[in-house]
Structure 1
Amino acid sequence: MIFGRVKSLDAIRAAAEKKSLHRSLGALQLTLFGIGCIIGTGIFVLTAAGAQKAGPGLMISFAIAGFVCLVAALCYAELTSSVPVSGSAYTYTYATMGEVLAWIVGWALMLEYTIAAAAVSVGWSGYFAGTILNEFMGISLPTALSAGPLALGGVEGGFINLPALLIALLITWLLIIGTNESAKVNAVLVAIKVTALTIFIALTVPAIELAKFNPFLPAGVFGGIGTGVGVVGAAATIFFAYVGFDAVSTAAEETKNPQRNVPIGIVGSLLFCTVFYILVAAGAIGTIGGQPIMGPDGTPWPAGSEELARQCAMPEYAGALVCSNEALAHVLREIGYSSIGNILGVAAFLALPSVILVLLFGQSRIFFVMSRDGLLPPSFAKIHPKYKTPYFVTGVTGAIVAVGAAFLPVGQLADIANTGVLLAFTMVAVAVLVLRKREPDMERSFRTPLVWFVAPATIFGCMFLLVNLPLEALLVLPVWTVVGLLVYFGYSRSRSHLGRGLTEVHEPEIHDIEPSIPGVDERDPLDPPKTPPV
């Protein structure tokens, strides 16, 4: 049977032990990894697009997206604490619903991480060209070198986004060097952007004018299926900005004491970032306004459309939030803090690479685990002898991201990435319910509270946001899925280790000894030592 290939939890753990990654990350590093990915594109890049869809109601959009992410995070936390290996939603689906659905989820995760990393690279390019080159150096980067071609949704005169391509390749090289080294760099970048956003909140929130929030819902709450407008439509788009916490789960196999540290990293980073998102959105809209530019039919022009670009070129919209490519820096310049606005632009320039880093990290680990299961070529599971990282798949992933960033625009990329992540989150919630039924006595160091409500709320919330994405983005997922199924039945199914009976099964003894890399103690120092077998 197609859906009969379910990989046992023992086999998943045994495969991870036989070809494992070095455990070097703690709870703080995981939390910073999550913050590093979550706080980034949604605030620094997508705030303008969200305001164009919802107006001041964007704050409600952040709350809706944050709630859906919170219930999904609780489901993630239970699974990652119970199955602490790389692979995220792909691995959980494999252990509960079978190989075909696991492949579909893994294929969707490829779409999510790859497109998202490309989108952030494009967003970073905007700050580099606008703040670093233009504001500080007086250099205007030619459109041909700073934007993708119009034929692919870019701008007129664009040929290649060279800065976006280069930053993607640079982050790829950093990830190949090593996980722990990447985490240290990420911690510095997180500190920079959290400080910058704290300053932004301190300057804008006291200057909020309530009149700027009127009308509060200019585009309404629900714009309709496939329209991508209104509060719910904006929530579906900015959901992209919350996906960082699931990248934390992909690091489970490289985490010390994952049963404790992964749930801390997931829930902690999400709660911290949600508060920042709402405060920053309130400060931006309450100071310079965030009303969308309406079309003749009374609905907002689509974000990123050619018509909106023409409207933004008119003098009356020169200072509009919805027309800015560097929204937060623009807000501070408009309210009289030009120098601080430029500094915030520099902070975004320095900090956005941390988002690319975590997304590329997550994508390469998904590829790594699928290769370890035989569904992708074995070269994707090669580990560098010196750096102990999956260098080959990291390089391949980085090259794909770099090409996408060089030629595609940020707005469309974000919506497309959301289709993959919303599908993956839905499958995680289903996996929690299946495992609760099938393995009621399985050890769970973290149990999802009120699972009878949280898991269904995750499924409903994700599907509700999915159908509120623009129609163009919705059409990508089924096409991508069909391509994935052709790859699966043409290559992966016949080479699957599970299908060929090549999976390892871990047989626990009374006193089980944890595997280790020679010369490396993978045990958390706070854990008591294990007694050797008698």
Structure 2
Amino acid sequence: MSRVGPGGAVRLGLPPMLLGRVKPLEAILETAEKKSLHRSLGPIQLMLFGIGCIIGTGIFVLTAAGAQKAGPGLMLAFAIAGVICVVAALCYAEIAAAVPVSGSAYTYTYATMGELLAWTVGWALVLEYAIAASAVSVGWSGYFAGSILGETLGIHLPPWLSAGPLALGGVEGGLINLPAALIALLVTWLLMIGTSESAKVNAVLVAIKVTALTIFIALTLPQVDVEQFNPFLPAGVFGGFGTGVGAVGAAATIFFAYVGFDAVSTAAEETRDPQRNVPIGLVGSLLFCTVFYILVAAGAIGTIGGQPIMGPGGIPFPAGSEELARQCALPVHAGALVCSDEALAHVLRQIGYSGIGNALGYAAFLALPSVILVLLFAQTRIFFVMSRDGLLPERLSRVHPKWKTPHVVTALTGAVVALGAAFFPVGQLADIANAGTLYAFMMVAVAVMVLRRTDPARKRAFRVPALWLIGPATILGCLFLFFNLPREAMIVLPVWSVIGLVIYFGYSRSRSHLGHGVVEVPEAELDSIEPDAPAIH
């Protein structure tokens, strides 16, 4: 029997089935309206948000790590990751427009497959965004220490201040990456000030970034030597299960760079006319960025080469490993692309454009914070929605009276990201982040197919064409890349999930608003809710 709870919410007699807590879409949308974030973002800002996250991570930060895994096959790796992202983006576009609230894959899963699976997705997203933000912070630190301090000011930071410890994959003499930790904290402060202000700063940084990469392409492509692409696949297409090398292994690593289109969907609740603008931001930013990825990779490798440093058995040393760090310290590898902390600026210096190379380093120095900003933005919104549902402490969803942002969770997230950036290298962080990324993307595809069957009449501003093909292709593509991650990265997701399940059954399940039978629905829907309606569990 339905009962009205505090604040006009409706209490429902919900069965205690483990997988039965499916939150009605009407309740999700009503909750978002009653305790909502300010709608201030338009289609151009959304697309810039996506571009700000996609272009930057893969090009400025992961070019060297990707080349170490695949050599010139990095171009093929970008194409593989791009194809899988296109089908995933189509699934995101449909469900994000139909459910225009914060929470991304977590919210979509809650509305289609229930609370337990939604928790696992949200928990994976927490890992994905926080680790990814740490990885980009480390990438920014490389440009800051190289182009700004080293090339311009002649100041060379000692390893103990600019790199993590060797035991965690850092460099000899490394102790803490202080610049990486500081930039993470600075971006956290900016996000706490306000979403609209963050979007305006991001737009400026994206313009700088795209201009710099356009100049890079114009200078490098005319000097490409086709011999640099031979052999094109030094580690093969498949490097072997659990090795994380080869073209597919590199694709599994750089896939994390495409997380930008996912971040767009997390901003749906703060978007004007989301049914129209969210699909534009998702698909538009992805297509724009994929072209840049391939062109910049071709320019970098085609000019100075990008062959990996091989280990025993003709298998490349793992990116971010202690063994590779030792090899890169040898004079014979001093100019190698795969050893550079600022790959694109390094390429331009090697081909005689030192001044422009330094300028590109400045652009990365200015632009990479936009990537950190979008990742932190997305992560805090996931926490915000999970807290709003009662699965995390309610105080985490507090919105600052002046800034209109979830300031508590933003501060906590920023502190964790800063710690990760201070002690781990970019390659390891990227691989770990991908475990959560691929799981979340797979669940979105499942959610779209489930919602088509359970709620076929719902208005959809965008519909995935040939969902019978695109949905399964997304699922299989994500699984394919997951099983081509390094073995250590594959282990992270199940371990992280076990920790999450302990928290869920020990804390969240008993405090869930839906578990208590409290959901919020529009007044017009009250008469249509039946005590034992099968759609509401």
Per the normalisation by structure 1, the TM-score is: 0.94
SS at match of 2:313: coil
**What is the aligned partner in structure 2 of residue 358 from structure 1?**
374
- Give 1:326-337 correspondences, 5 Å limit: 326-337=342-353
Are 1:369 and 2:363 an aligned pair? no
**What is the aligned partner in structure 2 of residue 95 from structure 1?**
111
Q: 1:225 Cα shift? A: 1.5
Q: Give the distance between the partners of 1:508 and 1:77, measured in 2 at CA.
A: 28
- Give 1:248-263 correspondences, 5 Å limit: 248-263=264-279
Q: Give the distance between the partners of 2:119 and 2:25, measured in 1 at CA.
A: 17
Alignment equivalent of 1:322, drawn from 332, 335, 338: 338
Alignment equivalent of 1:469, drawn from 482, 485, 492: 485
Q: 1:173 Cα shift? A: 0.7
Are 1:346 and 2:362 an aligned pair? yes
SS at match of 1:446: coil
- Give 1:228-243 correspondences, 5 Å limit: 228-243=244-259
**What is the aligned partner in structure 2 of residue 125 from structure 1?**
141
- Give 1:507-522 correspondences, 5 Å limit: 507-508=523-524
- Amino acid in structure 1 at the alignment position of 2:481: L
Segment drifting more, 305-314 vs 256-265 = 305-314
- Amino acid in structure 1 at the alignment position of 2:135: A
- Give 1:33-182 correspondences, 5 Å limit: 33-182=49-198
Q: 1:313 Cα shift? A: 2.4
- Amino acid in structure 2 at the alignment position of 1:179: T
Q: 1:307 Cα shift? A: 2.0
Q: 1:441 Cα shift? A: 0.8
Q: Give the distance between the partners of 2:165 and 2:331, measured in 1 at CA.
A: 26
Segment drifting more, 102-111 vs 301-310 = 301-310
Matched residues, percent identical? 79
- Amino acid in structure 1 at the alignment position of 2:463: R
**What is the aligned partner in structure 2 of residue 406 from structure 1?**
422
Q: 1:220 Cα shift? A: 0.5
SS at match of 1:220: coil
Q: 1:154 Cα shift? A: 2.2
Alignment equivalent of 1:299, drawn from 297, 315, 319: 315
**What is the aligned partner in structure 2 of residue 523 from structure 1?**
none
TM superposition outliers: structure 1 runs of 4+ over 3 Å: none
- Give 1:347-496 correspondences, 5 Å limit: 347-496=363-512
Aligned length: 509
Q: Give the distance between the partners of 1:373 and 1:315, measured in 2 at CA.
A: 56
Q: Give the distance between the partners of 1:431 and 1:500, measured in 2 at CA.
A: 24
**What is the aligned partner in structure 2 of residue 210 from structure 1?**
226
Q: Give the distance between the partners of 2:417 and 2:493, measured in 1 at CA.
A: 18
Q: Give the distance between the partners of 1:363 and 1:273, measured in 2 at CA.
A: 22
Q: 1:300 Cα shift? A: 1.1
Q: Give the distance between the partners of 2:356 and 2:116, measured in 1 at CA.
A: 52
SS at match of 1:388: coil
- Amino acid in structure 2 at the alignment position of 1:429: A
Alignment equivalent of 1:279, drawn from 270, 290, 295: 295
SS at match of 1:39: helix
Q: 1:380 Cα shift? A: 0.8
**What is the aligned partner in structure 1 of residue 7 from structure 2?**
none
- Amino acid in structure 2 at the alignment position of 1:434: V
- Amino acid in structure 2 at the alignment position of 1:114: A
Deviation per residue, 1:230-271 (Å, 9 max, x gap)? 110000001111111100000000000000001000100000
- Amino acid in structure 2 at the alignment position of 1:213: F
Q: 1:426 Cα shift? A: 0.2
- Amino acid in structure 2 at the alignment position of 1:100: L
SS at match of 1:7: coil
Q: Give the distance between the partners of 2:168 and 2:234, measured in 1 at CA.
A: 31
- Amino acid in structure 1 at the alignment position of 2:143: Y
- Amino acid in structure 2 at the alignment position of 1:254: E
Segment drifting more, 86-95 vs 387-396 = 387-396
Q: Give the distance between the partners of 2:177 and 2:325, measured in 1 at CA.
A: 18
- Amino acid in structure 1 at the alignment position of 2:130: T
SS at match of 2:514: coil
Q: 1:110 Cα shift? A: 0.3
Q: Give the distance between the partners of 1:406 and 1:293, measured in 2 at CA.
A: 26
- Amino acid in structure 2 at the alignment position of 1:150: L
**What is the aligned partner in structure 2 of residue 524 from structure 1?**
none
Q: Give the distance between the partners of 2:323 and 2:367, measured in 1 at CA.
A: 31
Q: 1:143 Cα shift? A: 1.4
Q: 1:311 Cα shift? A: 2.2
**What is the aligned partner in structure 1 of residue 242 from structure 2?**
226
- Amino acid in structure 2 at the alignment position of 1:304: G
Q: 1:339 Cα shift? A: 0.6
Q: Give the distance between the partners of 2:65 and 2:479, measured in 1 at CA.
A: 22
Q: 1:508 Cα shift? A: 3.9
**What is the aligned partner in structure 1 of residue 329 from structure 2?**
313
Q: Give the distance between the partners of 2:24 and 2:392, measured in 1 at CA.
A: 20
SS at match of 1:447: coil
SS at match of 1:240: helix
Segment drifting more, 351-360 vs 223-232 = 223-232
**What is the aligned partner in structure 1 of residue 9 from structure 2?**
none
Deviation per residue, 1:327-370 (Å, 9 max, x gap)? 10011011110110010011001000000000000000000000
Q: Give the distance between the partners of 1:286 and 1:150, measured in 2 at CA.
A: 31
Deviation per residue, 1:103-155 (Å, 9 max, x gap)? 00000000000000011111111111111011111111121111122233322
- Amino acid in structure 1 at the alignment position of 2:508: S
Does the 8 Å CA contact 2:228/2:301 hold for their aligned counterparts?
yes
Q: 1:213 Cα shift? A: 0.8
Deviation per residue, 1:45-89 (Å, 9 max, x gap)? 111111111111110100000111111000000011000000000
Q: Give the distance between the partners of 2:182 and 2:314, measured in 1 at CA.
A: 41
SS at match of 1:156: coil
Does the 8 Å CA contact 2:228/2:302 hold for their aligned counterparts?
yes
Q: Give the distance between the partners of 2:210 and 2:448, measured in 1 at CA.
A: 33
Question: What are structure 1's unaligned runs of at least 5 residues?
Answer: 510-534
Does the 8 Å CA contact 2:398/2:408 hold for their aligned counterparts?
yes
SS at match of 2:164: coil
Per the normalisation by structure 2, the TM-score is: 0.94
Question: What are structure 2's unaligned runs of at least 5 residues?
Answer: 1-16, 526-537
SS at match of 2:199: helix
Q: Give the distance between the partners of 2:510 and 2:519, measured in 1 at CA.
A: 14
- Amino acid in structure 2 at the alignment position of 1:421: T
- Amino acid in structure 2 at the alignment position of 1:403: L
- Amino acid in structure 1 at the alignment position of 2:259: V
Alignment equivalent of 2:43, drawn from 18, 21, 27: 27
